[in-house]
């Protein structure tokens, strides 16, 4: 089940990524010779028009092979205007950028679907209190529903929890619904040292309550609103991922948090077992991750090509073949090292 879920997930993400390159290349008049999902031995191939479409055995990537991809390629004079390398800088930039862009748009589309379908969200209700905690001493009891905090309305558990965590050692005035009666209670969160999503130690507030079981399905029936929220959610996740990459290089986030295909298989299995909404959310996150990784300025990745195009735009001449060859060798070596390290982390997780 886990392997099949991962194949479905990766297959869709790779297809969307390569579809971006393919469609913009076609739109720009480039001759696309091959569209492949996967690498290695071909499982299936069919030529339609001038393009061969293939499904290959190793589902860890894909590629779109375009005619005349580099200036040193031999190009027939009558096909020169259909060569990728002989297209304008603007067209080449758009073709390369389209892959990551389509992955971002897939995430937006998935989040919009989720918002339109509706997502369950826990209400700010108290399931219980920890003995001798600030909540217990303030008089909070099981079944209390928190309506407002310091005069601001609150409805959901995550909103309430976030607000409390930002107020370590500061008194918070709570407006509570208890058996249809409104009461006011003041509680001062303990100062607790915790770790954020990047593994950094931070001081947060905790009052010692457990979540109640009350929840509701949040629906966004208006497609326009849902798409807007899709863009917002994609931006927020992208921002967190970029911060995560930066913090890995800063050694704030441990390098052993990096995962590879084995971790993706396990997480795909877990998300699929949790339901379609969970699986779609995971797909959106991986799609954003794929887009950001491809935009890193590393030669052989889309971001490396965009970096060369940027240099070309500034210097008004293409980067020399020799420089690109050396850069590509360095980039490929770096990618192989990262892949081996990710596989190593995956394997070591099984022994923890």
Compute the distance between CA of residue 268 and CA of residue 59 in angstroms, rounded to an integer.
Answer: 15
Pairing label, strands 201-206, 190-195? antiparallel
What pLDDT score does 323 carry? 83
* β-sheet bridge partners, residue 205: 191
What pLDDT score does 65 carry? 92
Mean pLDDT along residues 145-167: 91
State yes or no: pLDDT of 276 exceeds 90: no
What pLDDT score does 282 carry? 86
What pLDDT score does 272 carry? 59
State yes or no: pLDDT of 14 exceeds 70: yes
> Is the distance from CB of 111 to CB of 284 less than 8 angstroms?
yes
- Which residues are known to be catalytic? 18
> Is the distance from CB of 312 to CB of 319 less than 8 angstroms?
yes
Residue 145 backbone zone (phi > 0: left; psi -120 to 50: alpha; other: beta): beta
Q: What is the mean pLDDT of the chain?
A: 84
How does pLDDT run across 324-343, given as a tens digit for each residue? 888 878 877 877 777 776 66
pLDDT band at 269 (very low <50, low <70, confident <90, very high): low
**Three-state secondary structure readout of the chain:** CHHHHHHHHHHHHHHHHHHHHHHHHHHCCCCEEEEEEEEEEEEEEEEECCEEEEEEEEEEEEEEEECCCCCCCCCCHHHHHHCHHHCCHHHHHHHHHHHHHHHHHHHHHHHHHHHHHCEEEEECEEEEECCCCHHHHHCCCCCCEEEEECCEECCEHHHHHHHHHCCCCCCEEEEEEECCEEEEEEECCEEEEEECCCCCEEEEEECCEEECCCEEEECCCCHHHHHHHHHHHHHHHHHHHHHHHHHHHCCCCCHHHCCCHHHHHHHHHHHHHHCHHHHHHHHHHHHHHHHHHHHCCCCCCHHHHHHHHHHHHHHCCCCCHHHHHHHHHHHHHHHHHHHHHHHHHHHHHCCC
pLDDT band at 291 (very low <50, low <70, confident <90, very high): very high
What pLDDT score does 349 carry? 56
How does pLDDT run across 62-105, given as a tens digit for each residue? 889 999 887 777 778 888 889 998 899 999 999 999 999 999 99
The residue with tokens 């390569």 is 18
State yes or no: pLDDT of 220 exceeds 80: no
What pLDDT score does 337 carry? 76
Compute the distance between CA of residue 138 and CA of residue 186 in angstroms, rounded to an integer.
Answer: 7
How does pLDDT run across 94-138, given as a tens digit for each residue? 999 999 999 999 999 999 998 888 777 888 899 989 888 999 999
What pLDDT score does 94 carry? 96
Compute the distance between CA of residue 204 and CA of residue 196 in angstroms, rounded to an integer.
Answer: 10
How does pLDDT run across 240-260, given as a tens digit for each residue? 888 777 766 666 555 555 555
pLDDT band at 53 (very low <50, low <70, confident <90, very high): very high
What pLDDT score does 324 carry? 82
């Amino acid at each position: 089940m886990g392997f099949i879920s991962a194949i479905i997930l990766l297959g869709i993400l790779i297809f969307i990524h390569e579809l971006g390159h393919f469609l913009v290349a076609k739109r720009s008049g480039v001759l696309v010779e091959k569209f492949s999902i996967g690498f290695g031995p071909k499982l299936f191939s069919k030529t339609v028009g001038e393009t061969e479409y293939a499904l290959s055995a190793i589902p860890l990537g894909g590629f779109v092979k375009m005619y005349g991809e580099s200036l040193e390629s031999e190009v027939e004079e009558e096909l020169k205007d259909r060569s990728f390398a002989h297209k304008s800088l603007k067209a080449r930039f758009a073709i390369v950028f389209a892959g990551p862009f389509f992955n971002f748009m897939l995430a937006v589309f998935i989040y919009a679907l989720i918002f339109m379908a509706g997502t369950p969200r826990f209400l700010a209700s108290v399931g219980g209190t920890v003995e001798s905690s600030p909540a217990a001493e303030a008089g909070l009891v099981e079944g209390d529903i928190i309506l407002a905090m310091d005069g601001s309305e609150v409805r959901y558990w995550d909103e309430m929890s976030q607000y409390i965590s930002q107020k370590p050692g500061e008194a918070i005035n709570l407006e509570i619904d208890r058996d249809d009666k409104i009461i006011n209670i003041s509680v001062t969160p303990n100062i607790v040292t915790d770790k954020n999503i990047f593994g950094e130690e931070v001081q947060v507030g905790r009052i010692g309550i457990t979540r109640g079981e009350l929840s509701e399905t949040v629906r966004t029936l208006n497609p326009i609103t849902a798409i807007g929220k899709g863009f917002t959610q994609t931006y927020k996740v992208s921002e967190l991922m970029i911060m995560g990459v930066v913090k890995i290089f800063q050694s704030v986030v441990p390098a052993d948090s990096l995962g590879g295909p084995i971790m993706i298989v396990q997480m795909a299995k877990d998300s699929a077992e949790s339901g379609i909404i969970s699986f779609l959310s995971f797909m959106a996150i991986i799609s954003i991750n794929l887009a950001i990784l491809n935009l890193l300025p590393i030669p052989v990745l889309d971001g490396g090509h965009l970096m060369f195009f940027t240099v070309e735009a500034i210097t008004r001449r293409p980067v020399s073949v020799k420089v690109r060859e050396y850069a590509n060798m360095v980039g490929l070596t770096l990618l192989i090292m990262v892949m081996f390290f990710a596989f190593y982390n995956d394997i070591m997780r099984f022994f923890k």
